[in-house]
């Protein structure tokens, strides 16, 4: 099984140096994971490193194709609370 | 180490006081030597010396709500944005090329576009090579502080004398509204716990650097409704721990920048809110007010960016004889210092005359203070045409002193407000940028802006071209006092129609 970087990646470089298997490489239009090298960090770390440092929701998929960081998981604001949070912030 | 820092807003009874150049005079010689030609650590130095950043550090270990990690943009000017990422070898080549071509460049900083200490190898390798090849350049680094305790010892070994830590809070509840997560010990940590760890590491890093004799500047982003009141506490805490300078910067949050705050409609502070907070913090420590919030690959004097002259393809073709460049740089620096000494003397005399003014007007009501905007390209003098100015330096003149308040950019980002519309002309934008100022000093000015400025209650003045800024401001203030213009409250300017 291997992780995958998909469209939306902003090429911020955060994941590349962390990968214990050197499976992540710079590419156009965005970084990619070498599926042959990726171990999903098994045996090295409790959490997959690329998905734990990635700042963009939805751009890293696990071996099943499911986003590791779904909408709202990184901003801390679940989609259903977005409108209320926006109103709160705009009142500042 | 406990640095005694006199606040800029403190009272001042003696003559010859009130000039920004003199505000460093109370510092121990060793400290003064470290900041004398550092444009970011000394307000006076920023008129004369330039800095550069090299973008060797892309990766980051935290998320700040005011930062968009898509940093590649050539048209925006704000922290965290760069055009090309460099390897340490390319960065060293660029630094030598800039040093040879812009001899007044004295400082090389690494400020991102990510966190320079998140993966410190690239940052440290750049410093290692430069301390060997260009010993006349000061090295400094900016960090969010998370990884600082782990590398503080190594930084002090590399001859890094200046470090900037961005500290927006000392309370995790405030921090949780600014930092949604951090990457710590190989895991993502979210919410309050994340802020707690970050704050702990920042404070520990600050203490470690101060123990090692490194000068620390603390940057704080003023976020209205989030950390505005809290920054006074931040200022107290970091000062007590030995930080040298506090730089409170306004939040930049526009929707088109794609930051969380920008997209959510968080507003930035007004000029007045920023100044009020800076003044409140000034009671606790020296404040930096001349920051231009530059890009992570900026080159040149603060407020200008000559990065386009030193792109990778251009520096490839430059042959640099650094030994020869270093000799030339030393000559130019000596010239700059001679020039500064002469200006200091002139300005000192102007302040003597200001304090005599105070004595002569004492029986009457004390004249009110006045804000004046200045157009300058550097060297500490008024030397820019009004129409060429992309920013204005704002000074406050009173019978006690002339003090620098801050720089206001004209067209780089909009300060907001409901009068803002597409039909607004550049000149109207400038006039709004100068809100609160009663005089604008420049080398020359055209007829049309002259009359529009006057209508808006701002008097253009081109009579002090090539004079030292603070001396000219003092002279204009003196004229206003003598003409009786300052005996009563400020006249309301005519309302602008947008």
Domain ranges within chain A, ordered by starting residue: 1-92
Q: With contact defined as beta carbons under 8 Å apart, do B53 and B139 qualify?
A: no
- For residue range B26-56, list pLDDT tens digits in order: 677 888 888 888 888 888 889 999 999 999 9
Cα distances (Å, whole numbers) of residue B454 to B284, B410, B473: 38, 18, 18
Q: Specify whether B466 is located in the same domain as B317.
A: no
Residue B15 falls inside a structural domain: no
Q: Which of B322, B351, B384 is the last residue of a domain?
A: B322
Q: Does B485 touch chain A (CB under 8 A)?
A: no
What is the signed CA dihedral for B55, B59, B60, B63, rounded to 10 degrees? 100
The reply to whether B63 touches chain A by the CB within 8 Å rule is: yes
| pLDDT(B429) > 70 | yes
Q: Is the pLDDT of residue B415 over 50?
A: no
Residue B11 covered by a domain: no
Question: For residue B494, is it within any domain?
Answer: no
Distance CA B259, CA B432 (A): 26
Domain count, chain B: 2
Q: Is residue B188 part of a domain?
A: yes
Alpha-carbon distance of B447 to B67, in angstroms, equals 42
- Between CA A32 and CA A49 the distance in angstroms is 14
Nearest beta carbon to residue B264 from set A12, A56, A89: A89
Residue B14 has pLDDT above 70, yes or no: no
Classify residue B12 as exposed, middle or buried by CB count within 10 Å of its CB (0-12, 13-18, 19+). Answer: middle
Q: Do both B352 and B302 map to the same domain?
A: no
Residue B180 and residue A76: Cβ atoms within 8 Å? yes
Mutation site, B56, B57, B65, B69, interface A, largest A CB count within 10 A? B69
Residue B9 included in any domain? no
Measured CA to CA, the distance from residue B163 to residue B144 in angstroms comes to 11
If pLDDT is split at 50, 70 and 90, which confidence band does B285 have? Answer: confident
Summarised one tens digit per residue, pLDDT across range A2-17 is 999 999 999 999 999 9
Q: Provide CATH code, domain A1-92.
A: 3.30.70.20
Q: Do A53 and B188 touch (CB under 8 A)?
A: yes
**Same-domain check for residues B386 and B288:** no
B308 & B369 share domain: no
Question: Domain check: are B176 and B87 in the same one?
Answer: yes
Note whether A47 contacts B186, CB cutoff 8 Å.
yes
Does B174 sit behind a cis peptide bond, omega within 30 degrees of 0 on the bond before it? no
Residues B478 and B383 in one domain: yes
What percent of chain B stands above pLDDT 70?
Answer: 85
Does residue B338 fall inside a structural domain?
A: no
pLDDT at B463: 95
Question: b/e for B110-121, b at 16 or more Cβ within 10 A?
Answer: bbbbbbbbbbbe
CATH number at residue B353: 3.30.420.130
Return the pLDDT at B357.
Answer: 67
Contact indicator for B70, B290 with CB cutoff of 8 Å? no
Residues of A in Cβ contact (< 8 Å) with B267: 90, 92
Sign of CA dihedral B88, B94, B96, B99: negative
My answer on whether B258 and B380 are in the same domain is no
Same domain for B286 and B218: yes
Q: How confident is the model at residue B12 (pLDDT cuts 50, 70, 90)?
A: very low
Tell me, yes or no, if B144 comes closer than 8 A to chain A by beta carbon: no
Is some CB atom of chain A closer than 8 A to the CB atom of B267?
yes
Q: Are B388 and B251 in contact (CB under 8 A)?
A: no
Q: What CATH number does residue B156 fall under?
A: 3.20.20.70
- B181 contact A CB<8A: yes
**B282 and B430 in a common domain:** no
The answer to whether residue B334 sits within a structural domain is: no
Residue B166 lies in a domain: yes
Q: Which domain holds residue B423?
A: 343-482
Q: Do B181 and A17 count as a contact with CB atoms less than 8 A apart? A: no
* Residues ≥6 apart with Cβ < 8 Å to B387: B445, B446, B449
Q: Three-class SS string for chain B? A: CCCCCCCCCCCCCCCCCCCHHHHHCCCCHHHHHHHCCCCCCCCCHHHCCEEEECCCECCCCEECCCCCCCCECCCCCCCCCECCCCCHHHHHHHHHHHHHHCCCEEEEEECCECCCCCCHHHHHHHHHHHHHHCCCCEEEEEECCCCHHHHHHHHHHCCCCEEEEECCCCCHHHHCCCCCEEEECCEEEEHHHHHHHHHHHHHHHHHHHHHCCCEEEEEEEECCCCCCCHHHHHHHHHHHCCCCEEEEEECCCCHHHCCHHHHHCCCCCCHHHHHHHHHHHHCCCCECCCCCCCCCCCEECCCCCCHHHHCHHHHHCCCCCHHHHHHHHHHHHHHHHHHHHHHHHHHHHHHHHHHHHHHHHCCCCCCCCEEEEECCCCCCECCCCHHHCCEEEEEEECCCCEEEEEEEECCCCCCCCCCCCCCCCHHHHHHHHCCCEEEEECCCCCHHHHHHHHHCCCEEECCCCCCEHHHHHHHHHHHHHHCCCCCCCCCCCCCCCC
Q: What is the pLDDT of residue B394?
A: 94
Q: B55 and B98 in one domain?
A: yes
Asked if B187 lies within 8 A of A46 by C-beta distance, the reply is yes
Mutation to test the B interface, candidates A69, A71, A92, most B Cβ within 10 Å: A92
pLDDT score of B411 more than 60: yes
Same domain, residue pair B276 and B149: yes
pLDDT in tens, B60-99: 999 999 998 886 665 566 666 677 889 999 999 999 999 9
Each residue of B55-76: b (16+ CB within 10 Å) or e?
bbbbbbbbbbbbbbbbbbbeeb
**Cβ pairs A/B, distance under 8 A:** 72
Do B348 and B280 sit in the same domain of this protein? no
Q: Which residue has the higher pLDDT, B26 or B131?
A: B131
pLDDT score of B305: 86
Both tokens assigned to B168: 């927006």
**Better-scored residue on pLDDT, B417 or B226:** B226
């Amino acid at each position: 099984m291997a992780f995958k970087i998909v469209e939306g990646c902003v090429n911020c470089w955060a994941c590349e140096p962390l990968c214990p298997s050197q499976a992540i490489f710079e590419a156009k239009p965005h970084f990619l994971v070498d599926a042959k090298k990726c171990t999903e960090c098994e045996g090295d770390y409790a959490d997959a490193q690329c998905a734990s440092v990635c700042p963009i929701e939805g751009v890293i998929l696990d071996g099943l194709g499911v986003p590791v960081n779904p909408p709202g998981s990184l901003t801390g604001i679940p989609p259903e609370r977005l409108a209320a949070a926006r109103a709160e912030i705009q009142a500042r | 180490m406990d640095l005694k820092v006199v606040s800029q807003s403190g009272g001042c009874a003696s003559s010859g006081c009130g000039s920004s150049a003199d505000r460093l005079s109370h510092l121990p010689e060793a400290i003064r030597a470290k900041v004398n030609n550092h444009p970011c650590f000394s307000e006076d130095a920023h008129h004369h010396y330039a800095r550069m950043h090299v973008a060797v550090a892309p990766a980051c270990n935290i998320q700040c709500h005011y930062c968009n990690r898509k940093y590649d943009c050539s048209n925006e000017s704000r922290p965290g944005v760069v055009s090309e990422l460099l390897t340490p070898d390319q960065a060293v080549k660029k630094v030598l090329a800039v040093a040879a071509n812009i001899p007044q460049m004295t400082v090389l900083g690494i400020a991102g576009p990510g966190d320079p200490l998140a993966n410190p190898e690239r940052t440290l390798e750049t410093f290692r090579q430069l301390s060997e090849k260009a010993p006349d350049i000061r090295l400094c680094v900016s960090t969010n502080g998370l990884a600082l305790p782990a590398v503080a010892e190594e930084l002090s070994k590399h001859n890094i004398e200046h470090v900037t830590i961005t500290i927006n809070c000392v309370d995790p509840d405030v921090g949780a509204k600014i930092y949604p997560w951090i990457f710590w010990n190989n895991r993502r940590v979210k919410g309050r716990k994340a802020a707690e760890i970050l704050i702990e590491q920042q404070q520990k890093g600050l203490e470690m650097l101060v123990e090692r004799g490194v000068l620390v500047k603390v940057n704080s982003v003023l976020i209205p409704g989030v950390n505005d009141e809290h920054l006074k506490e931040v200022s107290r805490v970091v000062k007590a721990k030995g930080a040298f300078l506090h730089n409170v910067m306004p939040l930049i949050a526009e929707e088109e920048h794609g930051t969380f705050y920008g997209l959510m409609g968080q507003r930035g502070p007004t000029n007045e809110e920023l100044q009020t907070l800076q003044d409140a913090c000034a009671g606790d420590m020296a404040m930096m007010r001349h920051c231009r919030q530059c890009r992570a690959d900026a080159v040149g004097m603060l407020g200008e960016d000559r990065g386009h002259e030193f792109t990778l393809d251009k520096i490839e073709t430059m042959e640099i004889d650094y030994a020869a460049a270093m000799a030339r740089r030393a000559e130019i620096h000596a010239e700059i210092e001679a020039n500064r000494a002469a200006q200091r003397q002139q300005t000192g005399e102007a302040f003597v005359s200001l304090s005599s003014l105070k004595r002569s007007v004492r029986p009457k009501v004390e004249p009110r203070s006045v804000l004046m905007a200045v157009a300058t390209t550097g060297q500490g003098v008024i030397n820019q045409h009004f129409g060429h100015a992309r920013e204005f330096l704002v000074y406050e003149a009173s019978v006690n002193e002339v003090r620098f308040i801050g720089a206001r950019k004209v067209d780089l980002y909009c300060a907001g407000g409901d009068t803002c519309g597409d039909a607004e002309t550049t000149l109207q934008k400038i006039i709004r940028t100068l809100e609160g100022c009663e005089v604008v000093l420049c080398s020359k000015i055209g007829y049309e802006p002259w009359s529009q400025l006057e209508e808006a209650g701002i008097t253009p003045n081109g009579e002090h071209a090539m004079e030292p800024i603070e001396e000219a401001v003092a002279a204009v203030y003196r004229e206003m006092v003598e003409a009786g213009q300052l005996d009563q409250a400020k006249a309301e300017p005519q309302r602008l129609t947008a």
